[in-house]
Structure 1
Amino acid sequence: MIVAGIGCRKGVDTAGILAAVDAALGNHDLDRSSLSALATTAFKRDEPAIFAAARELGLEVIVVEGVGVDENTLTHSDISRAAAGSPSVSESAALAAAGKDAHLLGPRLITGAVTCALAVSGGPA
């Protein structure tokens, strides 16, 4: 299972979400067919572009409740921590949605107003 965790600025458009997902996948020589789901935090549950992007990709959005400090994130943003209580919304959401033994394929990627991180279920790579 590969989950794309999404963080974004308020009001981002669907094209921005898709561009970030495609860029993150491309960094790992993956394509859209590799994805199992998109994930975000409850803090972003009202961003329509995340759900529109998921519909375009034919995926569900997993909204993760209570994502906070996660020692497995690779990125630590003070802005993210202040706004959402997480050092990286995209990384934390991807890890939580992919399951207990998930790991990140790499640090989040920033594309415009969107961050995207990919997590894979299972143990360390």
Structure 2
Amino acid sequence: MLDTFWELLWYTLLVFAFVAYLIILFHVIVDLFRDRKMSGIAKTLWIIFLVVVPYLAAFVYLIARGSGMAERQIEAQDAAKQATDQYIQKVAGKSSADQIADAKALLDAGTITQAEFDILKSKALS
């Protein structure tokens, strides 16, 4: 199959080029679907272009829309981080200080008694 060193080198180069293309292709496709400003028709045309002339289309996309790819990726990461932070805050609940402040506000409003406040405070501190 691979009789000489040069055939092995050529085969390795081809495999490398194919894997590199696949990585670029996945990034381009993800960016296409991440872009909310681009119309569906434009996205479809890019996909067809990627299928018909794969390497050329990928390089043209990187040249034409490369700077926006980084911006859209940063926006997606920021949105994911905000969603994660909101989920953690929701699940974690309030801090002990917040719970004591809420109980103190209830005590000051006359909603709870001093004994109930002390119970709530001890629960928050434990």
Q: Verify same fold: TM over 0.5.
A: no
User: What TM-score does the superposition give when structure 2 sets the normalisation length?
Assistant: 0.23
Q: Name whichever structure is richer in strand by fraction.
A: 1
User: What TM-score does the superposition give when structure 1 sets the normalisation length?
Assistant: 0.23
Q: Name whichever structure is richer in helix by fraction.
A: 2
Q: Between the two structures, name the one with larger relative contact order (CA 8 Å, sep ≥ 6).
A: 1
